[in-house]
Amino acid sequence: MANTNFKVAILDDFEKIAETVPAYQKLKARADITILGERLDSSDKIVEQLRDFDALLLMRERTRFSDREYGQLPNLKFISQTGRTSRHLDLASATKRGIAISGTPSDSGTTVKELTVGLILALMRKIPQVNLRMREEIWPALTGIMLEGKTVGVLGLGRIGNEVARIMKAFNTRVLAWSRTLTPDKAAEVGAESVPLETLLKESDIVTVHVNFNAQTVGLIGKKEITSMKRGAYLINTGRGPIIDERAMLEALASGQLGGVGLDVYDIEPLPMDHPLRRFDNAVLMSHRGYATVEILSERYEQALTNILHYLDGKPPPLLNPDVQERRKR
């Protein structure tokens, strides 16, 4: 029988994966679980909907929590977070209030790597446009551009950028790479050339963004950088929206300076329905799907639900705020 004294809310599982993993049934036998279908996009909604819950399961950055929300959730003891990102969580305030926050291990980045390659090919071969017009005319005569022989610039040669560079080499491209700490030897391991940022932007036909998102990389690609790119070059972003100056990107799309963009991330998510990006047919737009495969989501929910079970058992799960002290004994 479920322990209805311990209430768990699962937020933002719009793909409906959480209840399909084995750990869900194990937790359901011990706690009262509620899956919330509504996006809690305001502080008032968060407080109103979550006031009675002891634990929350969050899908990455989809819902933000600050001290204001924590202070109005009197029963909250534990947050189980998929992934290890914490930009949407005030960890210091949670620690002060005795709210433990756990994470799950990072994945290999395979899903983002695959989506990046898909966006590059979709842009260059005009796959979305041809697919749409196949519903409207008998045989669309749109021509694409070959990837082979082109120059691909990879910003950030880390976990994901490394793999993208390696795959691009398999397409017989020249690969340029840049990051603040990149060495020629490290770039050479995946067949890339380590070059200054200015050189990468000037010589690349495709630029794909994989740098870490932090204060130093906000606005890394702005008007000056986009202007220095080849006219008609393609820009791919599967990292985080604010790394690219959105206004400068829109201006470059309108002027033809950018031949197209492939985006999985935005300054504002979900992307507003009236956003100007939706009007460009050379903008391939995804809804932050880089990680969203059945395999990865199932794995993360299994881990996150298991962390709640460990919390109930008094076993210390991996915490993002290890200094936290329990606010009360269960």
Residue type, 50: L
Q: Which of 60, 210, 240, 300 is catalytic?
A: 240
Burial code (b: 16+ CB inside 10 Å, e: under 16) for 243-282 equals bbbbebbbebbeeebbbbbbbbbbeeeebeeeeebeeeeb
Q: What is the pLDDT of residue 106?
A: 79
Six-digit token string for 170: 């398999």
Q: pLDDT band for position 1 (50/70/90)?
A: very low
Tens digits of per-residue pLDDT, 154-177?
999 999 999 999 999 999 999 999
CB 256 within 8 A of CB 232: yes
Topology agreement, domain 7-106+293-312 and domain 110-285: yes
Confidence band for 109, pLDDT divided at 50, 70 and 90: confident
Amino acid making up residue 146: M
Q: How far apart are CA 18 and CA 9, in angstroms?
A: 11
Of 269, 289, 299, 310, catalytic:
269
**Angle separating helix axes 159-170 and 110-124, nearest 10 degrees:** 40
Cβ atoms within 10 Å of 286's Cβ, excluding its own: 18
**Range 110-285: architecture per CATH:** 3-Layer(aba) Sandwich (3.40)
| Long-range Cβ contacts of 200-204 (<8 Å, 24+ apart) | 200/153, 200/155, 200/176, 201/153, 201/225, 201/228, 201/229, 202/228, 202/229, 202/230, 203/151, 203/153, 203/176, 203/230, 204/151, 204/152, 204/153, 204/176, 204/229, 204/230, 204/233
124-141 residue pLDDT tens: 999 999 999 999 999 999
pLDDT of residue 254: 98
Q: Indicate which residue of 62, 210, 288, 300 is catalytic.
A: 288
Task: List pLDDT tens digits, range 26-70.
Answer: 999 999 999 998 889 899 999 999 999 999 999 878 899 999 999
Report domain 7-106+293-312's class.
Answer: alpha beta
Q: Distance between CA 250 and CA 237 in Å, rounded?
A: 14
- Quote the DSSP letter at residue 221: B
300: CB partners within 8 A, 6+ apart = 82, 83, 104, 107
What is the model's pTM? 0.90
210 is catalytic: no
Nearest to 109 by CA among 180, 179, 162, 154: 162
Distance CA 160, CA 117 (A): 11
Q: Is the pLDDT of residue 2 over 60?
A: no
| pLDDT mean across residues, the chain | 94
Pull the structure tokens for residue 179: 């990051």
Active site residue 84: no
Catalytic, 240? Answer: yes
Q: How is the chain split into domains, by residue range?
A: 7-106+293-312, 110-285
* Bridge partners of residue 193, in order along the sequence: 176
Query: Quick one: pLDDT at residue 327?
Result: 45
